Amino acid sequence: MKGHVRSFACACLLWWGGWYAPAAQAQTQSPIPNFELSRLTVDPGLTDSIAVGSADLLPTGQLRIAIAAGFEYLPLVLRDSTGVSEAVITSRYTGYGSLALSPHPLFQVAVGLPAVLYQRVDGQALAAWGYQAPASRGIGMPWVSAKFALVRRTETRPFGLSVEGEVAFPAGRDAALAQDTAVQVRPKLLASLQGLGLLWSAELSALVRPQPLSVGNQTLATRVRGGVAVRAAQWRVQPELGGFGEVDTASGRGSFEGWLGARYAIARPFGVFALVGSGFSPAPGTPALRALLGLELNVNIWSESAPPPPPAPALNVCLGKHRPEECPLLDDDNDGVANGEDRCPLQAGVLKESGCPARAADGDNDGVPDTVDRCPQLPGSETRGGCPNDDGDGDGVLDAVDACPEEVGPADARGCATRDTDADQVPDHLDNCPHDAGPAANQGCPEKKKQLVVITRQKLQILEKVQFESAKARLLKRSFPLLDQIASILKTHPALGKIAIEGHTDSRGNATSNLRLSEQRAQAVMEDLVKRGGVDPSRLTSLGFGDSRPTATNETPQGREKNRRVEFRILEAEPSPVPKGATDAESPP
């Protein structure tokens, strides 16, 4: 067949195995010289990208098992000196299996085995070139790899850098073009970067072939490769777009391949991935079309947060990683107070507070800081949120926080009688639009105005997350509709009183950095509500809690996603009993 070979980076099989060896004996024909037909650096199921290596490692203690099946169209076309080409392998079906494990936060190992399940050969075309036809199936070259993280990407560090070494062994079937003549080595330099909801992966590698090989009038030797891929990491169905270029050092011929793929989490712990695409290259082993479909299983063998084994008695634990209580003479937070005397050994503080941060102002000297005191000018008790035990109208709402101290009303209406100004069956104190009638399912607003906020007894419950740039406190514009609704609710509901904007992170990264980031994000939200939303700044306060108040486990990506959040707590809301099993802050009254 005529035409140049269009190739595609179908993240198909990690090593599309192969060396030609004779399948039929004929004195007038010779076997195609043994060479690996198409050894792509495709790693389905093992990296964040399907077909380009990533600097990211699996979570510590996680085992990933991946299997895949692929298809190649026109994987081998031979050309003579006049440019005439013949397709000698028209189609190829392949299989792939691999295991990967990360025993340490900075180290990952993997093994894999490819196979040629079936290939269709044009025997007449091969005979015209004087070659024997290869076998239709066979096992490929098994491989092992080790990856080391030089810089590990975290919540507070969006960039990652790793090095990896792969070795493939000539244990496959050369008669099926699935084996090289010697051990193959591929060193890699890998990078990853997350930002704006996208995860970028980049790879620079070389496939080292000790001796050049000739196939027809084409020569194969060491190949140098570079590639880039980008994936929408925050979606459940994660599309991926990428490409890579490759140059053979013997012939100087290059190629470029591109692909479009996707990942999808079916249900924990299973996921699927697929890829299809095309490219252009005259090099042997580059098909006109590739397609791939695979399945992966992720199993947590042990937890990344599991405590390290106790050190040997002869070692001084204080010279390495340790807990503050193990080294009472050290000062881990560098605040001038030794660990043994520091009540907050991992958080810098002041001497007069025994190493803890300076206490917030307490204007009424009742022991409750003004930032959380619902009655900052009246001494009260901590159990009453800093308010005194006075209730003149006997409605169960203390006078200090009762918006209507001489009128009986429920606690969720701040002690005032309930009203329904727009007669839409949603009380004004729970109505996001008290002057525009709408259904209760849309928080009392017209249906054309989709509501993202629910007024509850203890907080403004948001139905979407406040979005920031990765590892920064800069708000993304897609959060503005949510913040605009919060500002509107605060201005139309003055009885809500003061609101505490609270920032939270997951547990990855340094605890001090996480605390600082949570404080900066809460401050950024408060400034936006004041500047763009026109909210009275005296009604707002911002607090950061770092990773100290998780709402879910930090051992899974889903749990860490839930823990990275901003909450809006109503400081002057009167607490009331909640039925057993319910969560007052999450359920509308």
- DSSP class of residue 184? E
C-alpha 495 chain-centroid distance: 40
225: tokens are 């490769």
Contacts of 307 (CB under 8 A, 6+ apart): none
Cα 570 to Cα 366: distance, rounded to the nearest angstrom: 20
Domain 62-299 listed as CATH 2.40.340.10: no
Question: Which class for 472: exposed (0-12), middle (13-18), buried (19 or more C-beta within 10 A)?
Answer: middle
pLDDT for the residue numbered 179? 73
pTM over 0.85: no
108: tokens are 């990952």
Pick out the chain residues at pLDDT < 70.
1-49, 79-85, 125-126, 129-131, 174-175, 213-219, 282-285, 303-315, 359-361, 371, 383-384, 389, 391-396, 400, 412, 572-589
- DSSP class of residue 483? H
Residues of the chain with CATH 2.40.160.40: 62-299
Q: Tell the CATH topology of 382-570.
A: 60s Ribosomal Protein L30; Chain: A; (3.30.1330)
CB 212 within 8 A of CB 221: yes
User: Could you give the C-alpha distances from 257 to 11, 88, 490, in angstroms and in order?
Assistant: 10, 21, 54
Residues of the chain with CATH 3.30.1330.60: 382-570
Cα 193 to Cα 55: distance, rounded to the nearest angstrom: 9
Q: What is the number of other CB atoms lying within 10 angstroms of the CB of residue 112?
A: 25
Q: Is 74 helix (H, G, I), strand (E, B) or coil?
A: strand
Question: pLDDT tens digits, residue range 169-226?
Answer: 888 776 677 777 778 888 999 999 988 888 889 999 888 877 776 666 666 778 888 8
Cα 116 to Cα 395: distance, rounded to the nearest angstrom: 79
Question: pLDDT tens digits, residue range 551-569?
Answer: 999 999 899 999 999 999 9
Strand residue runs (E) in 171-325: 184-195, 198-207, 213-215, 218-220, 223-232, 237-248, 254-267, 270-280, 289-300
Cα 568 to Cα 541: distance, rounded to the nearest angstrom: 10
